[in-house]
Amino acid sequence: MLRSSEWVLTGYYVYCMACSVILPVRAGVMPVTLAINALVIGGLLLLAYAENLRHKRLLGIMRDWYPLPLMLLAYREMGWFAPESHTYRLEQGWVVYDRLLLSGWGLRALIESAGPLLPSMLEICYSLVYAIAPFCMGWLYHRRHVSRMNAFLTTFLLGIFLSYVCFPFFPSEPPRTVFPGQDLPGIVTVFRRFNLGLVGNYGIHMSVFPSAHCSGAFAAAFAMRRILPEEPWIGRGLFALACGIALATIYGRYHYAADAAAGIAVAVVAYYVANRIQ
């Protein structure tokens, strides 16, 4: 029997298989997508069958961690479906609100008013998005709340995958590449150089809307707040981190403000859907 989080994982990879058939993708993308995703789903079913048959704790732990490396594959697969070119129509509309927020309302000046301190903190927050899931899962193990793992993973995976599902409908590129040299931070720190190197080497050219950084971070915060009511500081800390990530995506020009807002909305949807299907 599959867990709710595993149904979410399976549903997403089936969706990608459908995209490879329906979308105008490059030659060779469809068979590769179908083969890899069939292996992913097959491995999940095999692992679930073995754990249900043997009831070994090791197999249960393997099921807990199975989705994490597959999130990277899920992201990369969306890049396989990227269009050959972008019209930048969406980006031209979104950037108007960014410039109002950053320059018109003085958000950039406020962030940089204390020198490199706040810009550095925001870039660190942006980097920490990749540590959120391992931290939450590790904490649940540490506190011996393994029974709550599926609830966390269901909400978190929904937060990530619901953003990815939207990508084919909003083909777009990040503001730092669409508008090079414009609206950039006035302070460049070592943490920003690290993040730019990371997104520059591993980014995709499919879409930035909604922001999966925001949806995943807020979904994790909402999930931990619900499943660990006896330790409210965990949820509050993750919520503060998520707010820092959202602000960093806009200030650092990794995303548009519209992306961040949509990502938060996706996290809210993920939270309520997860509560219904668990």
* 166 contacts 251 by C-beta, under 8 angstroms: no
Per-residue pLDDT of the chain (278 residues; tens, 9 = 90+): 899 999 999 999 999 999 999 999 988 999 999 999 999 999 999 999 998 888 888 888 999 999 999 998 999 999 999 888 889 999 999 999 999 999 999 999 999 999 999 999 999 999 999 999 999 999 999 999 999 999 999 999 999 999 999 999 999 999 999 999 999 999 999 999 999 988 876 777 889 999 999 999 999 999 999 999 999 999 999 999 999 999 999 999 999 999 999 999 999 999 999 999 87
CB neighbour list of residue 41: distance below 8 Å, 6 or more residues apart? 10, 13, 14
**At the top level of CATH, which class does the domain 87-277 belong to?**
mainly alpha
Q: How far apart are CA 12 and CA 20, in angstroms?
A: 13
pLDDT computed for residue 54 by the predictor: 82
pLDDT at 1: 84
What is the reported pLDDT for 201?
Answer: 63
Instruction: Provide long-range contacts, Cβ within 8 A and 24+ apart, for 11-16.
Output: 11/161, 12/74, 12/157, 12/161, 12/164, 12/165, 13/37, 13/40, 13/41, 13/74, 14/41, 15/165, 16/74, 16/77, 16/78
Residues whose CB is less than 8 angstroms from the CB of residue 78 and which lie 6 or more positions away in sequence, other chains included:
16, 164, 167, 168, 204, 206, 207
**pTM for the full model?**
0.95
Distances (CA, A) of 43 to 8, 78, 90, 150: 15, 21, 38, 18
DSSP state of 256: -
